[in-house]
Amino acid sequence: MKVWVDPQRCQGHGLCKMIAPDSFVLDDIDGHSTAANEIVPADQYDPVREAVRSCPEQAIILTDDDS
């Protein structure tokens, strides 16, 4: 599973970091999010899925592609 954050859509709400703190990093200046690691570790699947569902801007993209 891979995750990334669309920088054009992210508005820096920070919900993803609150829900899945090990999977997202917030920019110190504007609070915009990026994925901590493109490939999601198996133990982070559920929190990352919840972050995707909770993003008000629908800026988090999740794929089942592991390659």
Which amino acid is present at 28?
D
Angstrom distance (rounded) from CA 21 to CA 30:
17
| Token code pair at residue 16 | 């993803």
Q: What is the mean pLDDT of each run of 10 residues along the chain (67 residues)?
A: 97 97 96 96 97 98 81
Give the start-end residues of each E strand in 1-67.
2-5, 24-26, 33-35, 60-63
Q: How is residue 42 annotated by DSSP?
A: G
Query: Six-digit token pair at 22?
Result: 């090990």
- pLDDT for residue 66: 58
Domain segments of the chain: what residues? 2-63
pTM given for the model: 0.90
CATH class, range 2-63: alpha beta
